[in-house]
Amino acid sequence: MTLPAHPLPSPSRSGRDLRFAHVAIIGKYQAPGSRNAVDEIAHFLHDEGCDVSLEQETALNTGLMQYQALDVPAIGLHCDLALVVGGDGTMLGIGRQLARYGVPLVGINQGRLGFITDIPFESYRETLRPILRGAFDEDPRALMAASVWRDGRCVFEATALNDVVVNRGGVASMIELRVEVDGHFVANQRADGLIIASPTGSTAYALSAGGPLLHPAIGGWVMVPIAPHTLSNRPIVLPSDSEIAVEIVSGRDASANFDMQSLTSLMHGDRIVVRRSDHALRLLHPVGWSYFDTLRKKLHWNEGA
């Protein structure tokens, strides 16, 4: 869907050397100062010669109606690049939706440095200018396709960039889970839950639960139990072409959530099946970007000399 826009002056002639001519902006419009940040970046892009559109909800909630407003499918079909202005949560939400269209994304962080929104707002001009003209490092991120099966029927489907988490309910008791990988029985686990995380999600909930960090270039998932009853149940790294199935054996009020942004309740006998998605997120970074620089800054590692 496209909303009408008030016309802007014609873009500058410098747009002739652009790699990305039509750019969409997606903003965390609930955050203080978001309107001004989105408007400032939009003006910068226009001055660089880009055609500028805003994601529909961003336009409606900021009131910036002088730009064309597009829904996600329209962005996927008509835009060359998407700029995400906000934090990692904003990137997770839009990234899952745009991955199927192959549109690359750049993350501009308004607050603290993010793992996947890694360009500080204060330096977006000097960082974006070369990216718009084709000087960037591309960083593909695998997505997980998850489904919930009940009595042989699929009752819920979702895509996750970070993780799929099976959790116990609010009752102070564990749940029992039967875990299979590629149809092979692994174990019955009693725990507070189980995390299946991508390399991108290895720095999120899985890390807090004691899982390892996975470099984004690794083709694997990490499966991490949450507070397991048997302490020998440890995190394990699996190939990303594996199919993981988790069945609810016992426990009350269990649920599954996907990137902590969508949730479904589970019943005894439900099976949560996780496999690699056919789509991947295309993240763009400045030339010379290093994953280890991000880890050092975000995790406050000693930088040394």
CA atoms in the 13 A half-sphere facing the CB of 235: 21
pLDDT exceeds 90 at position 207: yes
Is the CA virtual torsion 96, 157, 180, 246 positive or negative? positive
Check residue 140 and report its DSSP letter: E
Give the pLDDT confidence of 3-32 residue by residue, as tens digits. 555 444 444 445 569 999 999 999 986 766
Class of domain 143-278: mainly beta
Is 24 in contact with 80 (CB distance < 8 Å)? no
Is 130 in contact with 289 (CB distance < 8 Å)? no
Is 194 in contact with 166 (CB distance < 8 Å)? yes
Q: Which residues contact 31 (CB under 8 A, 6 or more apart)?
A: 86, 110, 111
Q: Which residues contact 102 (CB under 8 A, 6 or more apart)?
A: 76, 279, 282
Length of the chain: 305
Lowest model confidence (mean pLDDT) among 34-38, 169-173, 295-299: 169-173
Mean pLDDT of 62-79: 96
Is 106 in contact with 128 (CB distance < 8 Å)? yes
pLDDT at position 303 is 64
Active-site residue identified among 39, 51, 88, 192: 88
The average confidence (pLDDT) of the chain is 92
List, by residue range, all CATH 3.40.50.10330 domains of the chain.
Answer: 2-136+286-299
2-136+286-299 is classed CATH 3.40.50.10330: yes
Mean pLDDT of 251-270: 94
pLDDT at position 172 is 72
Check residue 22 and report its DSSP letter: E
- Among left, alpha and beta (phi > 0; psi -120 to 50; other), residue 186 is alpha
Percentage of the chain beyond pLDDT 70 is 93
pLDDT at position 68 is 96
Give the pLDDT confidence of 100-139 residue by residue, as tens digits. 999 999 999 987 778 999 899 999 999 999 999 999 999 9
The two beta strands, 105-109 and 119-120, are: parallel
DSSP 25-89: EEE-TTSTTHHHHHHHHHHHHHHHT-EEEEEHHHHHHHT-TTSEEE-HHHHHHH-SEEEEEE-HH
Measured CA to CA, the distance from residue 108 to residue 21 in angstroms comes to: 18
Measured CA to CA, the distance from residue 254 to residue 165 in angstroms comes to: 10
List, by residue range, all CATH 2.60.200.30 domains of the chain.
Answer: 143-278
Task: Specify whether 88 is catalytic.
Answer: yes
